[in-house]
Amino acid sequence: MAMTATIGRAHADPHHIGLVVEHPGPAPKRTVTAYGFWVFLLSDIVMFSCFFAAYAVLVSQTADGPKGSEIFEQRNVAIETVCLLLSSFTCGMASIAADVRNRFWFYLGMAVTCLLGVIFLVIEFREFADLVSRGYGPSRSAFLTAFFSLVGCHGLHVSAGVLWLLTMMAQVFAKGFRADVLRRMMCFALFWHALDIIWVGVFSVVYLLGSGV
């Protein structure tokens, strides 16, 4: 627009604070996408924080049912944690492979990530199934309600992540490392790492604190 090429003088620095750094204009698409996804992740963490809060409120409400220390198996949780932490590493490897456009290492990194995620899910599912079969399902007490919801919510996120991961692999297979595919890969990696961070919270608040009581 022709009129934009004019000298603005009003209000550029009304209080004489000093040099005004001019905003350079809209950010590149990669930055915008990653930024937006970060904002989404923050909102997701707020949602988790509600389940953490609910767990903290209800943890002692066992209604004569089992306490945490009676049902948690530390060996399983340790394996789960190792799986998830390792998967974050392999996910990082896949991200690097995508950045350097190396298909082999990308597929390998993603496949191992997927495998570790599935192992995590299987262990968690068996833990849940075992509890339910012993009569300690989520309807047993408010404590178990909060436990199943918090851990299950994380598990649902991991399941969604695995689905996304497989879709991502299929997309790289079909479309190659296009710019939009790489942006999605970046979002997936952020998502997967965020789940790891949340698991650290779950591990500490639920299993570590719970085992002692």
Partner 1 sequence: MPAGRTVEGTMLGKLDWSAIPFEQPIPLIAGGVVLVGILAVLIWVVVKGHLPYLWHEWITSVDHKRIGVMYILLASVMLLRGGSDAIMMRIQQAIAYQSQGYLPPEHYNQIFSAHGTIMIFFVAMPFVIGLMNLIVPLQLGVRDVAFPTLNSVGFWLTATGALLVNLSLVIGEFARTGWLAFPPLSELSYSPGVGVDYYAWSLQISGVGTLVAGVNLVTTVLKLRTKGMNYLRMPMFCWTTLASNLLIVAAFPILTATLAMLLLDRYLGFHFFTNEAGGNVMMFMNLIWAWGHPEVYILVLPAFGIFSEVVSTFSGKALFGYRSMVLATMAICVIAFMVWLHHFFTMGAGPDVNAIFGIASMIIAVPTGVKIYNWLFTMYGGRIRFTTPMLWAVGFMVTFIIGGLTGVLVAVPPADFMLHNSMFLVAHFHNVIIGGVLFGAFAGFEYWFPKAFGFRLDERWGKLAFWFTFTGFYVTFVPLYVAGMLGMTRRLQHYDVAEWRPWMIVAAIGMAVLSIGVICQIMQLVVSIRNREALRDRTGDPWDGRSLEWATSSPPPVFNFAFHPDVRGEDAYWDMKLSAQQQSLDHEEPEYHDIEMPRNSPTGFVCAFFATIMGFALIWHIWWMVILGGIGAFATFVVFAWRDHDEYVIPAAEVAAIDRVNLEERRNLVSMAGAI
CB of 15 to partner 1, least distance (A): 8
Which residues, including other chains, have CB under 8 Å from residue 6's CB and lie 6 or more apart? Answer: none
Residue from 145, 154, 165, 192 that binds partner 1 (CB under 8 A)? 145
146 binds partner 1 (CB under 8 A): yes
The answer to whether the beta carbons of residues 199 and 154 sit under 8 Å apart is: yes
Q: Which is nearer to partner 1, 46 or 100 (CB)?
A: 46
Interface of this chain with partner 1, residues 147 to 166, rule: CB under 8 A: 148-149, 163
The two tokens of residue 16 are: 């004489």
Task: Tell whether residue 177 is a contact of partner 1 (CB under 8 A).
Answer: no
User: Using CB under 8 A, which residues numbered 27 to 66 contact partner 1?
Assistant: 27, 31-33, 35-36, 39-40, 42-44, 46-47, 50-51, 53-54, 57-58, 61-63
Instruction: State how far the Cα of 175 lies from the Cα of 166, in Å rounded to an integer.
Output: 14
Nearer to partner 1, 14 or 212 (CB): 14
Which residue's structure tokens are 């620095």?
A: 13
Q: How many chain residues are in contact with partner 1, going by CB under 8 A? A: 60
Q: Does 88 bind partner 1 (CB under 8 A)?
A: no
The string of DSSP letters for 99-140 reads: HTT-HHHHHHHHHHHHHHHHHHHHHHHHHHHHHHHTT-STTS
Tokens of 62: 């066992």
Among 16, 18, 21, 104, binds partner 1 (CB under 8 A): 21
d(CA 71, CA 171): 41
Burial group, residue 155, by CB count within 10 angstroms (0-12, 13-18, 19+): buried
Instruction: Tell me if 75 contacts partner 1 by CB under 8 A.
Output: no
70 touches 213 (CB < 8 A): no
CB of 61 to partner 1, least distance (A): 3
Residues contributing to the site for partner 1 (CB under 8 A): 1-12, 14-15, 20-27, 31-33, 35-36, 39-40, 42-44, 46-47, 50-51, 53-54, 57-58, 61-63, 138-143, 145-146, 148-149, 163, 167, 171, 174-175, 180, 184
